Amino acid sequence: VVILGIETSCDETSASVIRDGREILSNVVSSQIEIHKRFGGVVPEVASRRHVENVNGVVEEALTQAGVTLDDLSAVGVTYGPGLVGALLVGVAWAKGLCFAKGIPMIGVQHIAGHIYANFLSGGMEPPLLALVVSGGHTEIVHMPAHGEFEFLGRTRDDAAGEAYDKVARAMGLPYPGGPVVDRLAQEGNPEAYPFPRAWIDDESMDFSFSGLKSAVLNTMHNAEQRGEEWKQADIAASFQAAVVEVLVEKTVRAVRKTGVRNVVVAGGVAANRGLRAALQKRAELEGFGVHFPSLDLCTDNAAMIAAAAFPMYEAGRFHDLDLNAVASLSLTKWADTPTIPFL
């Protein structure tokens, strides 16, 4: 089974060819980061235009690198939400055209399901699983009893983890996207330099909150400047990261204890974070549960994870009709429930 994945939900135009849901034949990611950097974030209109310009070339490159032609494709998996609607539409329209022309099935994929499925591309575990989703726009703990089935145990009530990284980085005068830069700085700083708050660390709930932490970091820098004092970038970064990581790890451990599900996968851009990887791995060893992270290049947006998520849907014969639309706020559970049609 050869599936072409297409991902255009945000600022990466990506296409990938996957064999049998696991083997990556190609994964081409064309990032627009350089274009959006000067605005300090993603500009939706600019992103859509870039996707339109890039999508043909990126798909062609993915097919060439994989050594396949359009005739070898069994199906196309495409992200149809959540994300920027204009950006999503570019991928969805492209996939529809190809599927119609070639008479092959189209599988719409929920983007966060894609992030979770990135784990299956690097020898991840089989469900039942818990997924710690830590991306640019989402932070949640998800129970995944079986392929394509999702149940929320907790979620952020305000900012996502990646969003907190990006906002703190911006306040520190660091370039977009801030996560990787803060992560690097944190390696050189003192994580105990500033006692930043750990939101609801003792709370029974598995929900998260990061906006208070973000404000605390901003206030610390502001107050220091008011007093004419220096603040060390590395110490702020390390103390901020320690607060984020501690909460993520504690809530994950709580979810493991509560559900008895002893396999955890981590998903989304923040899964690349060195502090999180080290702390969760260490804790998992102590507690005796399994933890798996995607390989570094598969943590942030890419089409390989979308094709991987499409694979079990393909196996189950669950396809989308060609009237599929982009859905800006498509939820994971909604996607799993979406009535899909057998391909005719």
For Mg ion, which is the closer residue by CB, 47 or 130? Answer: 47
Residue 137 assigned ligand-binding role: yes
In the complex, which residues of this chain contact ligand ATP (CB under 6 A)? 10, 83, 111, 115, 135-138, 162, 165-166, 177-180, 183, 268-270, 272-273, 300-301
For Mg ion, which is the closer residue by CB, 10 or 109? Answer: 10
- Could you tell me the smallest distance in angstroms from the CB atom of residue 257 to ligand ATP? 26
**Cβ contact 127:140 at 8 Å:** no
**Distance between CA atoms of residues 73 and 66, nearest Å:** 11
Residue 159 site contact among Mg ion, Fe ion, ligand ATP, none (CB < 5 to 8 Å, cut-off depends on kind) = none
Q: What is the dihedral of CA 213, 167, 42, 301, to 10 degrees?
A: -60
Residue 72 assigned ligand-binding role: no
Residue 85 assigned ligand-binding role: no
Residue type (1 letter), 90: V
Q: How many CA atoms lie within 13 A of 38 on its CB side?
A: 3
In the complex, which residues of this chain contact Fe ion (CB under 5 A)? 135, 301
Residue 179 site contact among Mg ion, Fe ion, ligand ATP, none (CB < 5 to 8 Å, cut-off depends on kind) = ligand ATP
Residue 148 assigned ligand-binding role: no
Residue 115 assigned ligand-binding role: yes
Q: Which residue is nearest to Fe ion (CB)?
A: 301
- Could you tell me the smallest distance in angstroms from the CB atom of residue 341 to Fe ion? 27
SS3 category, 154? strand
**106-110: strand order across its sheet:** 23-31, 12-19, 2-7, 75-81, 106-110
For ligand ATP, which is the closer residue by CB, 99 or 306? Answer: 306
For Fe ion, which is the closer residue by CB, 27 or 135? Answer: 135
In the complex, which residues of this chain contact Mg ion (CB under 5 A)? 10-11, 301
For Mg ion, which is the closer residue by CB, 84 or 186? Answer: 84
Q: List residues bridging with 134 in a β-sheet.
A: 139
Segments of the chain assigned E as strands: 2-7, 12-19, 23-31, 75-81, 106-110, 129-134, 139-144, 151-155, 263-267, 290-292
Residue 183 assigned ligand-binding role: yes
Closest by Cα among 130, 87, 141 to 327: 87
Question: Residues at the annotated binding site?
Answer: 111, 115, 133-137, 166, 179, 183, 273, 301
